[in-house]
Structure 1
Amino acid sequence: MAETKTHERVAVTDAAALLVRDLTKQHGPLMFHQSGGCCDGSSPMCYPIGMFVTGPSDVQLGVIDVGLADPVEVYMSESQFEYWKYTHLTIDVVPGRGAGFSVEGPTGMRFLIRSRMLDEAELMHFGLGSSI
């Protein structure tokens, strides 16, 4: 039987998933919005559902499974997505001060994005052609 590969635009490391689970216990269901810069740089911002309202100019990159009943949605602004559409993003966590509005701020950890270019199969899957 052939294995079917699922193509996703976003993933999460085990360490980041653990922090999201801990933060969910404190804040309830969460979501991410990839910041486009300004005050918090370009960071994945983590919010309780309803604290950040997405709109028609936001793109849902996908969902991450962190081992909770519901997956965690990940968004980015449409204008920023135009620059990042050829990349796969992985949400990770490292020691440091979190972004001012992101719920991990007081934990001594901060979320960050690790990126790589989409491979040929992913480019085809997302309708971006066979090469950049």
Structure 2
Amino acid sequence: MTADSIDAAVTLPGEDFSRVALTPAAAELLRLLWVRHGPLMFHQSGGCCDGSSPMCYPAGDFLTGDSDVLLGIFDVSEGLEPQPLEFWMSREQFNYWNHTHLTVDVVPGRGSGFSVEAPEGKRFLMRSALMDWPA
């Protein structure tokens, strides 16, 4: 988490701190992708290979359920019609990462063909830091 990162709105019951953020570069790419694909969502599965990267889909294209946790909701609209961008993680993966703060960043490279940023020559990347638990 950096001073210029964009924190997600808190969604977990009983918590008052954000668990996930976006770098400015990730937010900028998301705005571009939003114009091309409409409202978006993230899902982090924790599987091997591409499953270990945050995957970005058109909102609703990836079905979530009881096996997923909504970690936060972003507003990256900046000039676009406001629409929430949800960040989901598989419950199993959340059990491993529940002590970390996560930041979605973007780097050059080709990610998964299923994630909407793949044709852009960029991919989303998760950065993590041990969380300072609120007192």
Pairwise TM-score range, normalised by the shorter structure? 0.7 to 0.9
Higher radius of gyration, 1 or 2: 1
- Of 75, 82, 92 in structure 1, the residue corresponding to residue 88 of structure 2 is 75
AA at the equivalent of 1:26 = R
Alignment length (residue pairs): 117
Q: Which runs of 5+ in 1 are unaligned?
A: 1-5, 125-132
Superposition RMSD on alpha carbons, in Å? 1.4
**Whole-Å separation in 2 of the counterparts to 1:71 and 1:13:** 17
Identity of aligned residues (%): 65
> Could you tell me how far apart the structure 2 residues matched to 1:104 and 1:120 are?
33
- Aligned with residue 25 of structure 1, among 35, 49, 52: 35
CA contact (8 A) 2:44 2:51 kept: no
Query: Does residue 91 of structure 1 match 2:104?
Result: yes
Q: Could you tell me how far 1:51 is from its partner in structure 2?
A: 1.1
Q: Which runs of 4+ in 1 moved over 3 A?
A: none
Counterpart-to-counterpart distance in 2, 1:82 and 1:35: 12
| 1:52 lines up with 2:65 in the alignment | no
Larger mean Cα displacement after TM superposition, 112-121 or 59-68: 59-68
CA deviation string 1:62-115 (max 9, x = no partner): 112323512310001111110010111000000000212100000000000010
1:82 partner letter? N
Per the alignment, residue 111 of structure 1 pairs with 124
Task: Kindly state the Cα deviation for residue 119 of structure 1 after the two structures are TM-superposed.
Answer: 0.2
Measure the CA separation in 2 of the matches of 1:83 and 1:71: 26
Structure 2: tracts of 5 or more residues without a match: 1-15
Letter in 1 for 2:37: H
Larger helix percent: 1
Aligned twin of 2:9: none
